[in-house]
Amino acid sequence: MAKQESLGIKALESIHWYVHDLERSRQFYTKGLDFAEVAVSGPELEAHGKQKSALFQAGEIALVVSQPVGEGGRAWRYLRKHPDGVGTLNFEVEDVEKTFKLLEQRGATFITDIQRFTDDAGGKLAFFSITTPFGDTTFRFLQRDHYKSIYPGFQVHAQPKGGQNKYGFDKMDHVTSNFQTMKPMLLWMEHVMGFEKFWHIEFHTEDVASQQKRDHGSGLKSEVMWDPKSGVKFANNEPKFPFFKASQINIFNEDHRGDGVQHLAITVKDILTSVKDMRQNAGIQFMPTPGSYYDALPDRIQRMGIKKIDEDINVLRELEVLIDGDKERSYMLQIFMKDAASLYKQPDAGPFFYEIIQRKGDQGFGGGNFRALFESIERAQKAEGRI
């Protein structure tokens, strides 16, 4: 297919969460991750939308979190079906009317027409929303023209409350979602959104199951789609046969009760310091990595063609940080938090988790680490009797 005209996306501006307990999220983001709370919903918005919200920021990362107030609102409808999760992705665009027309021509399904707002200083904001194949997650496209109020109905704090971003969070790197079958979504991303293929991997871990009886394993196919103009990237996974039901992609979808956003990757400037401090200061828990991963790491680094890394492998082992890359792209460091249900010790918090990543030249997705992550999750699920 020939390349399509760009939608004019400038950035993935923010992620909108729907949660059962806003105060629980407030404590996690401000006390745990040291985000600042910069705004909250006003009384009119809460009455009209039937939900109360807060906006948290660190670096260029913006997260809106909403809890239902009574019945009938968007957050309430989402949470009737799912645990806590991502309900909307907000994209800033250059020209909202052009984006609307392009999506209309490509057969997008609209939730709203373009809505327009003006703040007290004369700044303008316009946006509209569409449905997507990402389960119950919708996309919103916004154009700002000196609009200072963040979002309509929000009250901006005179001074941000909570954290100071002491862990050095920088920006959103990519969004990863899980599907029972991802082909419809890939076609939609290509033909409607105009995104292009960026990266692909597929594998299965049945070879790490019992050698006497290979009765389980977790596999996936993963396709990364991106918007070349903005650099916005979506990683997308589906289960891989055999042991489809035992696949952790399928287990996520069962826990989430449908397709949806699995994790958000956010960048930091110094991952070793950030991870160490998050563990010590806030008790943040990460997915464990087996010692055998680090035993084999010197040979892996050599095979990848990486001549030199700045980090001590013993420190990587201690912090359980993963490394991947190639000789052309240098390397990257990454680690995955435990999912929200595990961090909060409450099932309604859901299976979503965060990835922390530091890129040192490599723009890939840690293909060599996928198996290590899957094997780690698989061991945990095996210990819990889930596979």
Contact 205, 371 (CB under 8 A): yes
Give the span between the Cα atoms of 82 and 350, in whole angstroms.
8
**Residue 315 and residue 311: Cα distance in Å, rounded?**
7
* Residues forming CATH 3.10.180.10 domain(s) in the chain: 9-162, 169-383
Residue 213 is predicted with a pLDDT of: 55
Per CATH, the number for 9-162 is: 3.10.180.10
What DSSP assignment string belongs to 82-139?
Answer: SSSEEEEEEEEES-HHHHHHHHHHTT--BSS--EEEE-TTS-EEEEEEE--SSTT-EE
Q: Which residues are annotated as a binding site?
A: 174, 263, 355
The secondary element (H helix, E strand) that includes residue 220 is strand 219-226
What pTM, to 2 d.p., does this model score?
A: 0.93
CB neighbours of residue 311 within 10 Å:
16
Per-residue pLDDT of the chain (387 residues; tens, 9 = 90+): 568 899 999 999 999 999 999 999 999 999 999 999 999 999 999 999 999 999 999 999 999 999 999 999 999 999 999 999 999 999 999 999 999 999 999 999 999 999 999 998 899 999 999 999 999 999 999 999 999 888 999 999 999 999 999 999 999 999 999 999 999 999 999 999 999 999 998 887 765 555 445 566 678 899 999 999 999 999 999 998 888 887 889 999 999 999 999 999 999 999 999 999 999 999 999 998 888 889 889 998 888 888 889 999 999 999 999 999 877 668 999 999 999 999 999 999 999 999 999 999 888 887 777 776 666 666 666 677 766
- Which residues are annotated as part of the binding site for Fe cation? 174, 263, 355
pLDDT at 74: 97
Sign of CA dihedral 4, 5, 11, 15: negative
Long-range CB pairs of 38-43, under 8 A, 24+ apart, other chains included: 38/150, 38/156, 38/157, 38/160, 38/161, 39/150, 39/151, 39/154, 39/155, 39/156, 39/157, 40/154, 40/155, 40/157, 41/66, 41/153, 41/154, 41/155, 42/153, 42/154, 42/155
Dihedral sign of CA atoms 244, 246, 252, 255 in order: positive
Model pLDDT, residue 340 = 96
Domain 169-383, CATH homologous superfamily name and number: 2,3-Dihydroxybiphenyl 1,2-Dioxygenase, domain 1 (3.10.180.10)
Query: How many angstroms separate the CA atoms of 365 and 200, rounded?
Result: 9
CA atoms within 13 A on the CB side of 232: 21
Q: How many CB atoms lie within 10 A of CB 337?
A: 21
- Residue 331 — left, alpha, or beta (φ > 0 → left; ψ -120 to 50 → alpha)? beta
